[in-house]
Chains A and B, each alone.
Chain A
Amino acid sequence: MALPRMPAPIRLRELIRTIRTARTQAEEREMIQKECAAIRSSFREEDNTYRCRNVAKLLYMHMLGYPAHFGQLECLKLIASQKFTDKRIGYLGAMLLLDERQDVHLLMTNCIKNDLNHSTQYVQGLALCTLGCMGSSEMCRDLAGEVEKLLKTSNSYLRKKAALCAVHVIRKVPELMEMFLPATKNLLSEKNHGVLHTSVVLLTEMCERSPDMLAHFRKNEKLVPQLVRILKNLIMSGYSPEHDVSGISDPFLQVRILRLLRILGKGDDDSSEAMNDILAQVATNTETSKNVGNAILYETVLTIMDIKSESGLRVLAINILGRFLLNNDKNIRYVALTSLLKTVQTDHNAVQRHRSTIVDCLKDLDVSIKRRAMELSFALVNGNNIRGMMKELLYFLDSCDPEFKADCASGVFLAAEKYAPSKRWHIDTIMRVLTTAGSYVRDDSVPNLIQLITNSVEMHAYTVQRLYKALLDDISQQPLVQVASWCIGEYGDLLVSGQCEEEEPIQVTEDEVLDVLEGLLVSNLSTPVTRGYALTAIMKLSTRFTSVNRIKKVVSIYGSSIDVELQQRAVEYNALFKKYDHMRPALLERMPIMEKTASNGPTEIVQTNGEAEPSVVEAKHPPPVTQPTNQANDLLDLLGGNDVVPVIQTTVPTKPASAGGELLDLLGDLSLSGIPPMTAYNKNGLKIDFTFERANPNPNIAVITIHASNSTEADMTDFVFQAAVPKTFQLQLLSPSSNVVPTLNQGTVTQVIRVLNPQKQQLRMRIKLTYTHKGSAVQDLAEVNNFPPQSWQ
């Protein structure tokens, strides 16, 4: 008894038409669900007639994004059917719905195997296509033999498909590459362009995968002459309607051959020589009025640049690219810029000739072109053209989209660093970048700039003045504000005294400067980091300005700030004003010249971060190292060389990069810790005593205070105390209280030495004393070996 038949399922085009009428997503989903249900029940009925139609509809729904996995098995049934229309949809479904990860696909293997040997070429073609699309490694291994057989057939329709299928097999199972080698011998003698094309693809794949194959093809098969011959025929032959595209004969094949030539010629002199002529011919004879011609020229240029071509050919190639740059078609300009970027390293001079055109491309409307032009411009900057190029690039920075600004700013900094013609130009350029794109510069540019400014000693006044003026205009760009406040803190005295040489000095009072800095502290635009910079700058000015009271007030206010960072700083600075006022000048002195971080030693104590304040924030930036690293190493240097003196005297800064707590350690634990004092030196009336403290919590640091007294009847002036320790120690000498040791023990000169003794070795020291006594200079060396054991244990 037959069940009542359902109405025939609708055709695919009906379904598409229906779904297109849906006005909302919900409506569409409803339609699809209804149809899916119908299809499912049809599948359950095992309806052979309409299976093909149903699967086609399923594929459409799959494309729209709806799940279609229940159709997978149906695809297999279609493949197994005898009807071509069924097979066609079945294989299509397999390619779209199935992949290696589904177990179902293995069931296809047998079907494919049979179909590869089918009597109809279209069926064989289907099988090849599907195998080449989604065959797994096992399937490929099983069926490689069949594919190889088809590669040798005379049927060009099948041959071309077999070639691409072989590409897939090789990708999946690289060991099988050898198997296809014999079949490739005759591939290039085919007349059919489809076969030629896919054969070239196959050969390309083999050469790319295996250097042995590559060598083999170069030497034994004489591949290059064959390809050259084919290419020549294509160019020289007249109009052939079969493959003509806008007047050029099979441009796709030409492009593919050129690419294979590139691989063959790369790094190989003989091959490159064999193709020189044909490349020149293609480059000069190809019609450039249409896009097709340009596509071929583009590929030719890429090939010329990659192989070992003679210089004449390379120049020809770059000139072609130069012509591309002037082309009206945007695509061509883009392509030219991309290629020039690849070649600018190797053929720098040739590309330089086109510099002005490249710079013009910066003004193009297209985003991709602008980016390429920018990268290329940076690559072309050198010592000769830096001024002109920078003008253009800065102008570009002004007007470009935000997505470019960060890269452009970094590029400008790098180029300026490498090729700056003068320090003033360098600083001007940096300021320009900070004012136009200040919020886009990278984080590490702030310490780099600070270092640069510190090192250009003669520009300090000019720099601080310009930065001050920039601050007056705009305080929203944080990197600029940070650099500016740091500079004002350092060089505020130069600002106020109006010492600028480079440009008209401005009249600025101390109060105005403090107003600006305080403004930064309260402004909503300032980030916490910036506020930290501003507070420190204010503090530094306490040694450079006279209005110390105002500064004291500001600092004490922030002692109760909600921001923990600011509060900590303010509290510490307050301490500096109160208990440790005698250390304040030394701590807040002018920065010495910093060296690049590359010379850092492993220890952290001596490695200062170049800042006079014990801040946590600055510690994040790579600490530029000051001269003190030297002193730990050179026992001999210290005692031999005279110019080490100023270095040791001025190194004040304190803290290891770890935490602000260390300063408190230094200041907080000056109480005597029970180690007996000792006399280190006693000669000619000069007596030097050592007293000891231990800097908690770091027990490796011994803090020694020297007390120098003079028992003679004349003062000892220009008194300088130097010390050196063995290599395993590190030493830091702070500033002395004075350099006159008054006569007749009326007073002492004190100086603090900090010694790091990580290996807990016995402390030894060599000291050098110089002073002027009764008009003559006195110098003496001594060894100090009588340190009490508690000082270094």
Chain B
Amino acid sequence: MIKFVLMVNRQGQTRLSRYYHSVELSRRAALEADVVRYCLSRKKDQCSFVEYKDFKLVYRQYAALYIVVGITDSENELSIYELVHNFVEVLDKYFSRVIMFNLDRVHIILDEIIQNGHIVETNKSRILAPLTTIDKMVDS
């Protein structure tokens, strides 16, 4: 299962964090800093999977942003790698420009894709359906 999803920039600042198992607030900062350090220190020709403590990290870089997903050993790493890309494509479809100012929307989208550590939906239009409904409600 998926343990957490993080989006961090090159300076190590967390832009998005979602945990699917309980991690105390005090340890989150340390965890995020650690994870970022691992991912940032890797070169371009190294593989995208890192072993970290008792789980694995799958990371992908998009421009200045790193998306890191922490998974347990039982999960298929290549599949999660695809999932990250799927997630980014969905975000791309919805947000025409910079996404980070609408953090609550991103959370909503993430909730439609991953629930409770497992994948719920991968079809882009179905993921975005509730969000478009909300938007219509807000506008009206």
Contacts and interface: CB of A to CB of B under 8 A. Distances in A.
A201 interface: yes
B46 A16 contact: no
A501 B86 CA distance: 69
A85 B79 CA distance: 33
A85 B118 contact: no
A60 B108 contact: no
Contacts of A299: 76, 79
B120 A60 contact: no
B131 to A, nearest CB: 10
A298 B46 contact: no
B70 to A, nearest CB: 15
B83 A252 contact: yes
B88 interface: no
Contact of A366 (B47, B100, B102): B47
A84 interface: yes
A168 B116 contact: yes
B49 interface: yes
Contact of A331 (B77, B104, B126): B77
Nearest to A95: B111
Contact of B78 (A56, A64, A256, A295): A295
Interface string B58-84: 000000000000000000111101110
A92 B133 contact: no
A787 to B, nearest CB: 64
A251 B79 CA distance: 8
Contact of B138 (A16, A85, A332): A85
A194 B111 contact: no
A56 B29 CA distance: 20
A181 interface: no
Contact of B115 (A164, A332, A333): A164
B16 interface: yes
A92 B104 contact: yes
Interface in A9-61: 12-13, 16-17, 56, 59-60
A333 B45 CA distance: 12
A335 B50 contact: no
B76 A295 contact: yes
B92 interface: no
B51 interface: yes
Given A85-B137, A252-B79, A335-B78, A201 B118 contact: yes
Interface in A157-215: 157, 160-161, 164-165, 167-168, 193-194, 197-198, 201
A245 B47 contact: no
A369 B46 CA distance: 9
Contacts of B129: 157
B17 A197 contact: no
A624 interface: no
Contact of A125 (B48, B51, B130): B130
B14 A64 contact: yes
Given A161-B120, A164-B116, A243-B123, A16 B79 contact: no
Contacts of B78: 291, 294-295, 298, 331-332, 335
B93 interface: no
Interface string B1-40: 0000000000000101110101001001100000000000
A122 B133 contact: yes
B104 A132 contact: no
A367 B83 contact: no
A159 to B, nearest CB: 11
B45 A365 contact: yes
B49 A368 contact: yes
A201 B118 CA distance: 8
B134 A242 contact: no
Nearest to A160: B120
B115 A295 contact: no
Q: Which of B16, B78, B119 has the most CB of A within 10 A?
A: B78
A365 B45 CA distance: 8
B121 A160 contact: yes
Contacts of B81: 291, 295, 331
A299 B47 CA distance: 19
A88 B119 contact: no
B46 A367 contact: yes
B23 to A, nearest CB: 10
Contact of B121 (A17, A95, A194, A331): A194
A62 B86 CA distance: 27
Contact of B120 (A62, A164, A332): A164
A125 B81 CA distance: 27
Contacts of A60: 103
Given A167-B118, A243-B123, A251-B79, A85 B47 contact: no
Contacts of B116: 132-133, 164-165, 167-168
B108 A129 contact: no
Contact of A333 (B47, B77, B104, B134): B47
Nearest to B32: A65
A334 B122 contact: no
Contact of A368 (B43, B51, B121): B51
Contacts of B100: 16
Interface in B94-117: 100-104, 107-108, 111, 115-116
A12 B103 contact: yes
Contacts of A165: 116
Contacts of B130: 122, 125
Contact of B86 (A193, A245, A365): A245
A245 B85 CA distance: 10
A464 to B, nearest CB: 43
A95 B17 CA distance: 12
Interface in A55-98: 56, 59-60, 62-65, 67, 84-85, 88-89, 92, 95-96
A250 interface: yes
A13 B21 CA distance: 28
B126 A194 contact: yes
A330 interface: yes
Interface string A285-319: 00000011011001100100000000000000000
Nearest to B107: A92
A523 B102 CA distance: 66
A255 interface: yes
A462 B104 CA distance: 74
Contact of B118 (A198, A255, A369): A198
B118 A164 contact: yes
B46 A365 contact: yes
A653 B122 CA distance: 75
A99 interface: yes
Contacts of B46: 330, 365-368
A164 B129 CA distance: 19
Interface in A347-399: 365-369
A331 B84 CA distance: 15
9 contacts: A89-B104, A161-B115, A194-B123, A255-B76, A294-B78, A302-B76, A330-B47, A331-B48, A368-B51
Interface of A: 12-13, 16-17, 56, 59-60, 62-65, 67, 84-85, 88-89, 92, 95-96, 99, 122, 125, 129, 132-133, 157, 160-161, 164-165, 167-168, 193-194, 197-198, 201, 242-243, 245, 250-252, 255-256, 259, 291-292, 294-295, 298-299, 302, 330-335, 365-369
Given A122-B133, A129-B115, A157-B126, 19 more contacts: A12-B103, A13-B101, A63-B103, A85-B134, A88-B108, A88-B134, A122-B130, A164-B116, A165-B116, A193-B123, A197-B120, A201-B118, A243-B123, A251-B82, A259-B76, A299-B76, A299-B79, A331-B77, A334-B77
For the complex of A and B, 8 pairs with smallest distance between CB atoms? A295-B78, A330-B47, A13-B101, A366-B46, A194-B121, A334-B47, A295-B79, A331-B47
